[in-house]
Structures are given as structure tokens and as C-alpha cells.
Amino acid sequence: MLTRVFLVGHDGLAGRSLARALATAGTRVRTDADVAGPADVAALDELFAAFRPLGVIDAMPRSMVDGAGPASGMDRLLRAQRTVLSAAHRFGVETLLYSWSCDEAGRGYRACRELGAALLEAWRREHGLRATVVAYLGLAGWEDAACTRPVGPVARLVRDIYRARNDHADHVELAGDPDAPCRYMSGADWARTCLEVLEDRTVGGTVVIDPVSDMPLGDAVAVATRVAGYTGGISWRRAASVRLPAGDRTVRPVQGTGLETVIEQFCHAHAAGGGAVGSGRVVRAGRPQGDAGTARQVRAWRADGLVVGFTNGCFDVLHAGHVSLLRQARAECDRLVVGLNDDASVSRLKGSGRPVHTVEQRASVLNAIRDVDAVVVFAEDTPERLIRDLRPDVLVKGADYDADEVVGADFVRARGGRVVLARLEEGLSSTGAIERLAHDRSRA
């Protein structure tokens, strides 16, 4: 058993699960949280010189490769990997394990092989480092320590059922084959299997952790609809099946908890407000480029495979049009961040006498809406810097804008994201509501 391990990717579900498993096994663990970043050569050298890790585990989440575009993200990933591998070689690390998540169609596996296997194979040949690449599917678990916010493919399935129920939908369309086995493994299952692979001295090359359960996907959906009380119809959109290259070793993890129990737990979390019901919080942007805490939260969501959406506004006198916008925005993503103008910027944009409600009051109301996952306050007249800091996957604005006029649209699209124009509710606006109230008072 390795007694000292350096772990990259501590802020993702995979990394957190591995850190807990290693600590339970009595392994001393240091992570990239202890340095400015995995590409910081000086800080990494200082840590390796003092800690002398015997193994390195790279569970680097996708959030760590975010950049201005795909090429930039690729460069950052390779640069960080080379820095970690170089330190591993220079300080005598014996073993390295590199992991990457794939979706149900096997997407991500190619990236795992190309970015991981080729690089590690080169280092194995040149420096004798024993390297194993692990691709995995179906990882699901909890976003928070209190186990209230489920994440992962099974959690997304549950979320879709609850969203359909809450929206009183006649039917919901799900991706997949109802007769195919549902893929699921917990963070503990994933970490235990990874450590077994790491300890197996005969293993090298690429290993696929493929958690095929004994429950068909259709039966898993039936459990979710029963617990959620959803009575609408289910339709299926066939997704491409997983195709993995021949010759790579496949490992089936032993699942510690039955899938039906897991689905019921996820359903109860959604019903209690941890999933489909908003679990937002207010975060004030304390520096011009946006709030660092919110940016970290967004990176953690994205590391767990969640699609992050963003919309913004003053939300002064909340009305049905605002609620419709937020609901449409949340339908486009897994987590919705709402940028909220502070009092000074509302006054500049809307004129004297505005806002009617303070930023704390407006944020409190937004947090009570189930479709909102986080509220971040910004001081500028536009959210351009906040968008660049948070790097959302989806940018949502009302249809009174042209897509090319939406602030931050070019940035989001350059990173492969989408801009969505939400349908407007005719005749509804905060300004109109305030003017009607003033008119009614003058007549009274």
C-alpha cells in the first residue's frame, strides 16, 4: 500500500472520493489545494521535496482545463500534466494513475486515451514510471458533505422526473435504451476499485471501470416515477451505445449499495429541496472579475458533469415574467446561477428611486425560487466580467434581445457554449408594475 500520495483534482466527485478512501486506508494525502495549481512548477517542487509522495493520482476534473476555447483548454491540461509528471520523475514517484470520466455513449474515452495514455506511455518508456490510465462511466454521488444534493447520471435521471412532475408535464423524454442495464457506481465504489487497480502491480495501460448494474434503465426510471409520484408518460430517445476499443481491460466494481436504494435516496433529496428545488445561496462579488467562491462552486459542478447556466438582471419587483425566465433558463441546464445587480448599478440603470427593494431582499426572494441554484451579486452595469469568471455553459437572456447583442455571448460561444433567448411574458415588467402602482396611488 502506498503510504504517501499526491492527488490532483481534489474538488471533483472522483477526487473527493479518492481522498476519503486513501485517508481511511491510512495513506497520507496532499492535494493540488496545497499549491496554487497543478501547473505551478515552483510550488509543486517545494511540496514534492517536503512530502516525497510515492504515488500520484490525477483525477483532474474538466473544470481545470477551462479556457477561452478548446485549444486553450487542451494546452492547459497538457501543461499541468507535464508539470506533475516531471515532478513525479524528479522526486522518485513509483506509481501514477490517471483517470477520466466518459458519458454513456463513451464520449470522453478517446480524450482519456489520447491525452492520458499517450503522454503516460512516453513517460513510462523514458523514465520507468509505472502508469495506469483509468476511464470510468456512471459515477454518481453527493455534491455536498450533508448528502442533500445528488449529482451524476442517475441523479440527472431523477432530476428529469422531478422537473416533469413539478411542471405538470404530460410526458418526459429521456435519453437511453430502457432495456439496457443502468450504469451506476458510488464514489466509494469508484475509489475502492481505483485503489485496487493501483495496487495491482500487473496492471498497466488503460483500464475501463464499467459499472453495469443488474437493473435495466427502464426499471430505474420506474422507481423514480413511483417515489416522485409522477403520473405522466415516458418516451425514450435512443442514445449511442458504449463502444470501447478491444484490448483494454474492463473492471466491474462491486456496488456497496443497491441501485433501487440509491434512486430512492436521490428522490428524497430532490423532494426535500436538494435537487430540483432550488438550493441557492447569496454570494457577493468582492472583486471586479467576479466572486472566487462562486467560481469554485461552478468548477465543482462542471467537474461532476453538470451543465451550468447563467442569467442576470435587477429582479427588483419580481413578477410572473421573471419566474418564467428563470424556469426556462433552468430547463437548459443542471445548475442555474443568477447574476444580480447591486443597488448602485440598479440606480444607474433604472434611475432615481430604484431599486424598490435592497439587494439583500431581492437575493432572498430569488433564493426562494426552486429553479435558482446560486445568486451572485455584481457591481458593474453589465455582467461581462462575471461571465468570464464563471464561464457558464449556457447563457440565457430574454427574447427582447438579439442573440448577438447579449453581453458575454461571444465569450460563451467561443468556449463551445450556447446562448438561449427565453420567451417573454407579454406586458410584464418591473417598471410597468411600479408605474401602475404610482398611478393608482395618485388617484386614491
Q: Are 415 and 387 in contact (CB under 8 A)?
A: no
Q: Which backbone phi and psi does 387 adopt, to 5 degrees?
A: -60, -40
CA distance 45 to 52: 10
CB count within 10 Å of CB 424 equals 15
CA distance 150 to 265: 9
CA distance 66 to 299: 9
According to DSSP, residue 29 is labeled E
| Beta strands in 258-413, from DSSP E residues, in sequence order | 282-284, 308-313, 335-341, 374-378, 394-398
Q: Are 27 and 5 in contact (CB under 8 A)?
A: yes
DSSP string covering 92-104: T--EEEEEEE--T
CA distance 294 to 287: 12
3-state helix vs strand vs coil in the chain, percent to 5: 45, 20, 35
- List the catalytic residues: 219
Angle at 295 between CA 293 and CA 297, to 5 degrees: 70
Q: Are 59 and 116 in contact (CB under 8 A)?
A: no
Q: Which backbone phi and psi does 293 adopt, to 5 degrees?
A: -65, -45
Residue with cell 422526473: 161
DSSP string covering 273-294: TSSSS----EEE--STT--HHH
State the greatest distance between any 2 C-alpha atoms of the chain, in Å, as a whole number. Answer: 86
Dihedral sign (CA 84, 87, 89, 95)? negative
Question: In this structure, what C-alpha cell is assigned to residue 119?
Answer: 503522454
Of 332, 341, 333, 319, the residue nearest 436 (C-alpha) = 319
CA distance 134 to 209: 7
The three-class DSSP label of residue 182 is strand
According to DSSP, residue 185 is labeled B
